[in-house]
Amino acid sequence: MHWNPGYAAVAVTGAANLPHRMDPLEQLKRDVPHRIDSATTIAELDEIEAETVGRRSPIAEARRGLGAIADPAQRGVTGKAINDVAVFLSAQIDVRRGALESVEVNARLQADRADVTLPGRVPRRGTHHIIQQTIDEIVDIFVGLGYQMVQGPEAETDFYNFTALNIPKTHPTRLESDTLYLDYGDGDEEVLLRTHTSPMQARHMEEHEPPVYIVVPGKVFRSDAIDATHLPVFHQIEGLAVDDNITFADLKGTLAEFTRQFFGPDTKVKFIPHYFPFTEPSAEMHAYTQGKWIELIGCGMVNPAVFENVGYDPNTLSGFAFGMGADRMAMVRHGITDLRTMIDPDVRTLEQYR
């Protein structure tokens, strides 16, 4: 829109009648566009609008003064001039309002925005306990050698824990000082917390035909006070191989291979005679690792008496069995010297063995 400069000569208000004062409409036209442009909020713009073109504005006042102009032609020119200023300013105000509205909407949208680029809170990473890790690793090695993993009950009967394994009634491990009895059942059916994983040998052979190649990981319980080398709850991994023609050479080869896979290919092993009621002959396998010989695995050829107890024919079958402590294997592997580390719930301890 083009401003008609002709209006400036027209006196519409008292002030404008003073020759040294600028016409208020002219003043509006000169000053207000700048204020409109620099308004930063809609509220501010509303104020400018009220002040300049609203009901109490100089424009409204000028319109009210129109009636006092007697000459209709002059009144028409002046009215048009006032209107032109009003339209001119209103148009600018509308443009600015549109711009400020979109700025405010954007600001609100911005404030409401969920910033999906924020990194999430990373939960503390959990891990398997060192004993479980060790059990998994040991079982994996035997699975690689063709064994199957099975598990048995932790509450066991006297029969499977002792009698089936050829452990005589008079054996000291049956004493309450060694075994935790559950005060339930009598004789062979007396229930106790298994003192080793060996009972699963008998349970498995009773239920399955040979050949048998199993490993049995699990918790075992003994009536021991806690110290650096004893816990009343610990973990064992039992092994049993029964087939047509198993010899002590198979036992040695299998356990030597396991030890090399677990501790490293150069690990030496030796077998020292020992006694277990359920194996004959029996041995202890020691491994040379970390600069010393360490007793690791109890083992031996399955005692024919055990085969008889489970209904296997000792004349046609032979086999070997072995048992090792999972906690002990974990300690040797990680250089841990105090067994109580295994039950330390401090996350700083646990985090060292991921």
Name the residue among 82, 53, 88, 52 with its Cα closest to residue 69: 82
236 to 275: interface string for ligand DAH, x by CB under 6 A: --x-------------------------------------
Minimal distance, residue 167 CB to ligand DAH, in Å: 10
Residue 78 or 198: the one with the smaller Cβ distance to ligand DAH is: 198
Q: Say how far apart CA 319 and CA 248 lie, in whole Å.
A: 9
**Own/partner long-range contacts of 143-146 (Cβ < 8 Å, ≥24 apart):** 143/215, 144/261, 145/213, 145/254, 145/257, 145/258, 146/213
Residue 88 or 276: the one with the smaller Cβ distance to ligand DAH is: 276
Minimal distance, residue 347 CB to ligand DAH, in Å: 32
Residues 270-309 that bind ligand DAH (CB under 6 A): 276, 279, 298-300
Residue 45 or 332: the one with the smaller Cβ distance to ligand DAH is: 332
Name the residue among 237, 213, 242, 208 with its Cα closest to residue 146: 213
Residue 218 or 298: the one with the smaller Cβ distance to ligand DAH is: 298
Tell whether residue 321 is a contact of ligand DAH (CB under 6 A).
yes
Residue 137 or 284: the one with the smaller Cβ distance to ligand DAH is: 284
> Are 334 and 344 spatial neighbours (Cβ–Cβ below 8 Å)?
no
Minimal distance, residue 322 CB to ligand DAH, in Å: 5
> Are 290 and 94 spatial neighbours (Cβ–Cβ below 8 Å)?
no
Minimal distance, residue 300 CB to ligand DAH, in Å: 5
Total residues in contact with ligand DAH, by rule CB under 6 A: 11
Give CA angle at 63 (60, 66), nearest 5°: 155
> Are 215 and 262 spatial neighbours (Cβ–Cβ below 8 Å)?
no
How many residues are listed for the chain in this entry? 354
Residues 180-199 that bind ligand DAH (CB under 6 A): 196, 198
Minimal distance, residue 284 CB to ligand DAH, in Å: 8
Residue 29 or 235: the one with the smaller Cβ distance to ligand DAH is: 235
Minimal distance, residue 220 CB to ligand DAH, in Å: 7
- The Cβ-side half-sphere exposure at 261, using a 13 Å CA radius, reads 16
DSSP 55-122: TTSHHHHHHHHGGG---HHHHHHHHHHHHHHHHHHHHHHHHHHHHHHHHHHHHHHHHH---TTSPPPP
Other CB atoms within 10 Å distance of the CB of residue 104: 12
Minimal distance, residue 336 CB to ligand DAH, in Å: 20
Pick the stretch among 40-48, 154-162, 247-255, 320-328 that binds ligand DAH (CB under 6 A). Answer: 320-328
Paired tokens of 6: 């002709």
Residue 62 or 242: the one with the smaller Cβ distance to ligand DAH is: 242
Minimal distance, residue 321 CB to ligand DAH, in Å: 3
Q: Say how far apart CA 257 and CA 236 lie, in whole Å.
A: 19
> Are 221 and 290 spatial neighbours (Cβ–Cβ below 8 Å)?
no
Pick the stretch among 23-31, 57-65, 102-110, 315-323 that binds ligand DAH (CB under 6 A). Answer: 315-323
Query: Which residues contact ligand DAH (rule: CB under 6 A)?
Result: 196, 198, 238, 276, 279, 298-300, 321-323
